[in-house]
Amino acid sequence: MYYRLGLIGHPVKQSLSPWIHSEFLKRSHLKGQYDLIDVHPEEALENVLHHLQHEGYHGFNVTVPYKEKIMNYLDIVDEHAHRVGAVNTVARRGGKWIGYNTDGIGYVRALEEKYPKFFLGAEKNVLLIGAGGAARGIYASLLTKPLQRIDLANRTLQHAENIKIMNETSIQTDILSLERARELCSTYDLIIQTTVVGMNPHENEMIMSFPVLRKEQIVSDIVYQPIMTKFLRDAKSKGAQIHLGHSMLLHQAQVAFEIWTDQLVELEKMDHQLEDILKGR
Ligand code: ATR
């Protein structure tokens, strides 16, 4: 068996996925390749899918700007991806294209790997900052966990309201302005920053600064370029524990690889290797 895998998006040339999945193939003793497939916005996705089918692809990842649009061309979209409203992983099974979303699950796995007891014991309070696609995926996955509260803070409150609609659980969610979230920040066990604010080349920006934090609190940023964002530096300086963004990237890829190959690949040392690659950029 030779696995043909890849990534469709525009642009894709900066992607770290070829490195990650080639390493996964090696570690799983599987043969295959992972290609970058730059799809120009004027190309019809239907034709791209026919091409991938013809070429014998087993699956592919989907990135900006096709995560939502691709859903119209798949045979099946799994329930979680449907709830999130976006697909980042597609697998060919039984002659059908099936769509999944591994972002939120990847975030939760990354968190559990670093903090195995986080979801055990007393039910925790989480603050999710942002209301874009990444926030939707993480919110949907966190709703499957025994939490007390997941508040949503965003610049545009209506966008956060649109995400809250998917909550059919007993977990409480308040919608907060960024200012209000800042005032309440010390009341959360976990704070997750999901917006693009602070991403290279805007490294000197942060969505908010923290007035005060406790040392038990965990602060996550899903931005991984730069690896140490201004937001995380601020959290660290206030004494909180920090969780770096590239671990979500690795874990969402691990979930995708498992969907394609049924292999749960061991991530040992890849975290540090990826950190070195990112620091060298
Ligand atoms: P993604 O799919 O990567 O999550 P997105 O859907 O474009 O990205 O969402 C971007 C998120 O970043 C949103 O929460 C957006 O806030 P709005 O909903 O108010 O637009 C947030 N965002 C982007 N630039 C921002 C800025 N300069 N200040 C505050 N929030 C910002």
Indicate if the pLDDT at residue 3 is higher than 90.
Answer: yes
Count of positions (residues) in the chain: 281
The residue annotated as part of the active site, out of 13, 26, 31, 67, is: 67
Three-state secondary-structure class, residue 99? strand
Model confidence pLDDT, tens digit, residues 86-100 = 999 999 999 999 999
Which residue, 117, 134, 183, 127, is CA-closest to 151?
127
Model confidence pLDDT, tens digit, residues 267-276 = 999 999 999 9
CB 139 within 8 A of CB 154: no
- Give residue 192 CA to ligand 1 midpoint distance, Å: 14
Please tell me the distance from the alpha carbon of residue 254 to that of residue 42, in angstroms, as a whole number. Answer: 31
Model confidence pLDDT, tens digit, residues 118-174 = 999 889 999 999 999 999 999 999 999 999 999 999 999 999 999 999 999 999 999
Please tell me the distance from the alpha carbon of residue 277 to that of residue 95, in angstroms, as a whole number. Answer: 37
Residue 221's pLDDT band (cuts 50, 70, 90): very high
Q: Which domains occur in the chain, in start order?
A: 2-101+249-279 (3.40.50.10860), 105-244 (3.40.50.720)
- Give residue 64 CA to ligand 1 midpoint distance, Å: 14
DSSP E strands in the chain: the ranges are 2-9, 31-38, 59-62, 76-77, 89-93, 96-100, 124-129, 147-153, 175-176, 190-193, 218-221, 241-243
Q: For all residues of the chain together, what is the average pLDDT?
A: 97
Ligand 1 atom at shortest distance from the alpha carbon of 156? 19
Indicate if the pLDDT at residue 280 is higher than 90.
Answer: no
Tokens of 55: 């070429």
